[in-house]
Structure 1
Amino acid sequence: MRDALGRVEGVRSNDGSYEPLTVAGLGALLVGADEARRWRLVAEFLEEYRWEPAQERAALLEQEPGMTGDEHWDVFLAALTEHLATKDGRGAPAWVETRSLRRFWFPFNTRAARVDAVVHAPAAFRRRGVYVSPQELNVA
């Protein structure tokens, strides 16, 4: 759902109460979006996730997102889910184990970004072949 400025926000339930965006909802929003928009959506998801109480965050990661139409982003969502669950001291949902790339992907593909990502990519991303540096996730 979008607010008056076009930003993604959590959804309103039938009774009008706020519900934060889930990783499955994020996946649906990524379908057909260009790269710049996808990174803005990830940033907004992460912002909402950070504001949620720790004991409620696991529910935002449980439902498996549908396919986005881009294998890189499908795997990115699995890596992001595992990364967030690990940061919260929990195991990731079982669905993340089914997603991995056969060929490495560097979303930020400059020489400096590649070197930084090879050295510093979080484990959940590295093991799936997605090389993104932690600061990209903090900024995103």
Structure 2
Amino acid sequence: MRGHGAKYEPLTVARLGALLVGVDETRRWRLVAEFLEEYRWEPPEQRPTLLTDEPTPTGDAHWDVFLAALAEHLATKDGRGAPAWADTRSLRRFWFPFNTRAARVDAVVHAPAAFRRRGVYVSAQELNVA
């Protein structure tokens, strides 16, 4: 419980997008991990509300598309459709956020469909969404 009577508010994908603006990659991945952790702890009936609002642009097309893929991936895992705003986002060129040879091979094999369709190659293991 966060102090001073403040009601706990889980991180939404829209808020996550705002937090990604102007921070380095390491911080971005930490924020994604925090979002995923909070998402997992939310009751399934509350989870769609965390994905509903469209994030404003982060200033980096890769991350804008990543957020759409993440929202669709999580909605699909919960047996729901992706939020409408996520449909329009995709990359023209493939993006491998973890760009080592091993990570690229792993991502090509294991990238979830929501990411692969948009040209973002990140393995489910790297997302830590087991």
TM bucket (normalised to shorter chain) is over 0.9
The answer on 1:33 being equivalent to 2:23 is yes
Equivalent residue in structure 2 for 1:23, among 13, 16, 34: 13
TM-score (norm 1): 0.88
Work out the number of aligned pairs and report it.
128
Aligned to 1:57: 47
- 2:24 and 2:8 mapped to 1: Cα distance? 27
Q: Which runs of 5+ in 1 are unaligned?
A: 1-9
Counterparts in 2 of 1:58-137, with a 5 A limit?
A: 58-137=48-127
Q: Are the counterparts in 2 of residues 82 and 91 from structure 1 also a CA contact under 8 Å? A: yes
**Percentage identity across aligned positions?**
82
- 2:116 and 2:55 mapped to 1: Cα distance? 20
* CA deviation profile, 1:109-129 (whole Å, cap 9, x unmatched): 000100110111000000000
Q: Which runs of 5+ in 2 are unaligned?
A: none
Aligned to 2:32: 42
Aligned to 1:4: none
Q: Write the letter of the residue equivalent to 2:68.
A: A
Deviant stretches of 4+, over 4 Å: none
Q: Are the counterparts in 2 of residues 11 and 21 from structure 1 also a CA contact under 8 Å? A: no
SS at match of 2:121: coil
Q: Are the counterparts in 2 of residues 82 and 124 from structure 1 also a CA contact under 8 Å? A: yes
